[in-house]
């Protein structure tokens, strides 16, 4: 039986827009600007739009 590494098996932690703003220390208007530019992509889960901070950090490194 093959073992799956923890990095691949770990589920992403989803955050709300307010939590993302607090994490990156940005205003809500900056968040909306980044979203329009395509730097931030959300996933709709259960009627809420949620974001994965790890994915956002990777996108910020590319810019």
* All residues at 6 or more sequence positions from 43 whose CB lies less than 8 Å from its CB, including other chains: 14, 49, 50, 51, 52
1 pLDDT more than 60: no
User: Residue 3's pLDDT is what?
Assistant: 64
pLDDT tens-digit series, residues 14-52:
999 999 999 999 999 999 999 998 888 899 999 999 999
Domain region containing 37:
11-62
Residue 5 domain flag: no
**Chain position carrying tokens 């790890």:** 54
* Number of domains within the chain: 1
For the domain that residue 22 is a member of, what is the CATH number? 1.10.10
Residue 41 domain flag: yes
- Which residue spans within the chain are E strands per DSSP? 14-15, 43-45, 48-52
Residue 48 domain flag: yes
pTM of this structure = 0.73
Split at pLDDT 50, 70, 90, the class of 63 is: low
């Amino acid at each position: 039986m093959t073992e799956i590494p923890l990095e691949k098996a770990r589920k992403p932690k989803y955050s709300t827009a307010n939590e993302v703003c607090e994490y990156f220390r940005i205003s809500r208007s900056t968040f909306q600007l980044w979203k329009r530019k395509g730097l931030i992509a959300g996933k709709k889960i259960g009627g809420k739009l949620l974001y994965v901070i790890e994915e956002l950090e990777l996108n910020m490194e590319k810019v």
